[in-house]
Structure 1
C-alpha cells in the first residue's frame, strides 16, 4: 500500500489521487500591498552570504498555511508551508506549552536571524499532527515575533537547514517533520508534491493549493515530471537549489550559467539586478519601479513582450506574458497604479550571492516535487 497523505490548501473541490486526503484550510492574513510583498521577499534573503546557512526570513502574505495540531490535548494552529526552511516554530500566542501534558523542555534556545529582524526561540519536543498522522517533533516557541510578521512555520527544506546552535555554541541536528513521518513509517518515501494555483478576478484569497506529503498527485500535471538534481553551487546547494544554464526572453539569451532556489515561501520571482535588466532590455522603457520595486512595462509596449524561459537542468520551463504579468483586476489588492503594467519580477540587488529565487508565481504554473530521498526537485506543467 502506498503511504501518502494530502493537504488541501484552501481547496474546496480538488481531485486527490493519493490514498487518503487530509484537508487543512490555508488563509491569507490581511491585504498586502506590492511594497509589502517585495519587502518580505527580498528581506527574506537579505542576510544570506555565500557560505552561510542562516535561515532566511519569511513573508507572511500571499503564502500557504497548513493547519496542524500541536500538544496534548491538541491545539490547532496554522503554520506557513515553506521549502526554504527545515525547522518548525510557532508563536507563543498560537501555542501554549503550559497547556500540553506531553511537552518536554529541551533546555536550549536559538536566535534566528532574519532580514527584517531577529527572533529568539526556545526549543521543546511534543506531538505534532497533520490530519490523522502524528509524530513527536522538536520545535521552537517564540515570544518576540512582531519583527518577523508570521506566527510560525513548518519547514520542508533539506536537512542541511535543520541545525540550530544554542547559547553555548553547541549545534543540534533536529529531524524535520518529513524525516519524522518517514522514520515512523507513516510515509514510504520522503517526497512532497506541491500544486499551487493563481488567484483571479480580484479575489483576495482562493481555494488554490494542495500538497501531498509522501506522494505525488499525477492528476495535477501534464506529461512527465522532469527531475533536476540539487545544485553543487553554494549557497544554493543548502536549499532546494537547481542549476539554471540559461534564462531567455523570446529568442534572446539574457543570462547563462546561473543557479537558483525553488522556494514556496517566496511570493515573487527574484533575480540579480543585472540579469533582470538584461532580461527586460528588449522592451523599450521597461524599468524597475522605484515605489514597488517590481519590474514594469510602459503603457503601449505590451506587444513587445515575449515568453520568458528558464532552462532548469536541461529542460526549458516557460512563462507566457499572461503568466508573469500581474492581472489588472488584482491591482486594488496590491495597491498598484492603473496605467502601469507590473510584472511578478523583482530584484535581489547587484551583489546578491544568489542568482535567482523561483517563487510561488512561477510555481503556480508548474507542479513541483521536493524529493529528499533522491536529493532532487521535480517540475511539470500544471494541468
Structure 2
C-alpha cells in the first residue's frame, strides 16, 4: 500500500436534544482561553495539563459526529464520536466483543471529561477504520462505567499523544502517553503524515451518512475551490491549539480586526469577542432569547442579513445568512419561540486582541468549510465546499 494513499471514512450525524448549547460552549471556551490542556500540534511539549479548574469538555454540544469502527476479528462495529480534542480511543463494555486479536493488558484506565467520564480496563486489539485501513495492537479502553455519554458507543480520539498521559496505568515503554490511532497509523506505514481532513455537512436528518474523515491528508473531492494552508499562529494561547490568525467582515464592513483564535471541532457555535458580538447583534437587529441565551431574529430580519466573511491567510470564507442560523427543524430542541430564528454566533466574553485567543470557529463554521489538521507540518487548511452556499438550515 502506498504511504501517499488518502483513506476516507464516512460518518453520520446524531442530534443531541439539549437546551444549553451556549453555556456548554462558554464553559469549554473558558478553559481554552486559560490555556488548560492544549490539544494542537504544538501541545506535544506539554506533558501535564495545567493546574486549576475542571478538565475541558471535549464533546460536541449540539450534534455529534459518529464513525463506525470495527474492533477485533471478526470485527464488531461500534459508533464512536470523532474528537480532535482528545486522544484515547475507548468503547463501552457492552458493545465490545473479545476475539482472537483481543488482549487484556490488565491495566486500568480512567478519563474525566468536562462533560462525562469513563473507566474500565485497557485492551489492545485490531481496529478497523475502513476496509483498507486497519490498525494492529491499538490501545483501547473498554469501559464498564461511563457517565453522561449517551447516543454513542465510545470515542475515537485523534488528538496528540500528550493527552493520553495519566489516563492509563504507568508504562515505562510509553512515559509520555499511549500510542494514539494517529501514532499507530503512521508507525504502521498506513499514512505518510499525521494529518486529518474533516468534511462536515449541514444536518438534514438523524443518523445519516453526512460527513467523512480522510486520514493521511485532505480529500480533494470535498473541496469546491482552493485549499489554503496557514501555519499555526504564534500567538499564545491560541498557538497551543489549532490556532489561526483571522479577521471577519459582515458584508463589506470589517467587524473584527485580525487577531488569534482557534478552529475547534468540539465547539458548537461561532464564538466572537464581546465587542464584535455586540456589533454583529447591531448589524442583524437580533435580540437575546432569555431561555437559551442565543441571539434570535425574525423572518423579516433574517431576509435582510448579510454574509460573514472569515479572512484567513489572504483568503475569504463565506458564511451565508443560512449558515448563521440554527437548523430551524431543530428549533424545538432548544425551545426557540415560534416565529423566531436562532443564530449560531455568540460571545466568547470580554476578550481583547492581546489576550491571545479571541474567537473559536466551531462546527457551525466547519459545516460550510472543509478543514484539514496537519500535525506533521503544524498547519491548518480551509477550503469552500459544495455546502458553503447550501440552504439546508
TM range (shorter): 0.7 to 0.9
**Following TM superposition, where does structure 1 have runs of at least 4 consecutive aligned residues deviating by more than 6 angstroms?**
167-170
The 8 Å contact of residues 287 and 297 in structure 2, kept in 1 or not, is answered as: yes
Equivalent positions of 1:1-383 (< 5 A) are: 1=2, 2-9=4-11, 26-28=12-14, 32-33=17-18, 35-45=19-29, 47-48=31-32, 50-53=34-37, 54-59=55-60, 61-95=62-96, 102-105=102-105, 107-114=107-114, 116-120=115-119, 122-132=121-131, 133-135=133-135, 136-149=137-150, 151-164=153-166, 172-200=176-204, 203-244=205-246, 246-284=247-285, 286-298=286-298, 300-332=300-332, 334-350=334-350, 354-383=357-386
What SS is found at the alignment partner of 1:282?
Answer: helix
C-alpha spacing 1:143/1:232, structure 2 compared with 1 (3 Å): farther
1:236-265 Cα shifts (integer Å, max 9, x gaps): 333322222x12222332223432222233
Equivalent-residue separation in structure 1 for 2:170 and 2:141 (angstroms): 17
What SS is found at the alignment partner of 1:300?
Answer: helix
C-alpha spacing 1:74/1:366, structure 2 compared with 1 (3 Å): same
The 8 Å contact of residues 4 and 188 in structure 1, kept in 2 or not, is answered as: no
Equivalent-residue separation in structure 1 for 2:311 and 2:7 (angstroms): 31
The 8 Å contact of residues 45 and 57 in structure 1, kept in 2 or not, is answered as: no
What SS is found at the alignment partner of 1:276?
Answer: helix
What SS is found at the alignment partner of 1:281?
Answer: helix
1:127-176 Cα shifts (integer Å, max 9, x gaps): 22212322222233334322344542112234453433667899632222
C-alpha spacing 1:247/1:207, structure 2 compared with 1 (3 Å): same
The 8 Å contact of residues 81 and 265 in structure 1, kept in 2 or not, is answered as: no
Q: Which residue of structure 2 aligns with residue 15 of structure 1? A: none
Equivalent-residue separation in structure 2 for 1:210 and 1:382 (angstroms): 13
C-alpha spacing 1:51/1:37, structure 2 compared with 1 (3 Å): closer
Shift of 1:204: 3.7
What SS is found at the alignment partner of 1:346?
Answer: strand
Gaps of 5+ in 2: 38-54, 387-393
Q: What value does the CA root-mean-square deviation take over the aligned residues?
A: 3.1
Equivalent-residue separation in structure 1 for 2:203 and 2:161 (angstroms): 32
What SS is found at the alignment partner of 1:302?
Answer: helix
1:319-345 Cα shifts (integer Å, max 9, x gaps): 111221234344345543221121122
The 8 Å contact of residues 158 and 239 in structure 1, kept in 2 or not, is answered as: no
The 8 Å contact of residues 80 and 154 in structure 1, kept in 2 or not, is answered as: yes
Shift of 1:210: 1.7
C-alpha spacing 1:329/1:104, structure 2 compared with 1 (3 Å): closer
The 8 Å contact of residues 73 and 101 in structure 2, kept in 1 or not, is answered as: yes
C-alpha spacing 1:118/1:235, structure 2 compared with 1 (3 Å): farther
What SS is found at the alignment partner of 1:275?
Answer: helix
Which TM-score applies when normalising by structure 2? 0.79
Shift of 1:279: 2.5
The 8 Å contact of residues 48 and 56 in structure 1, kept in 2 or not, is answered as: no
Which TM-score applies when normalising by structure 1? 0.81
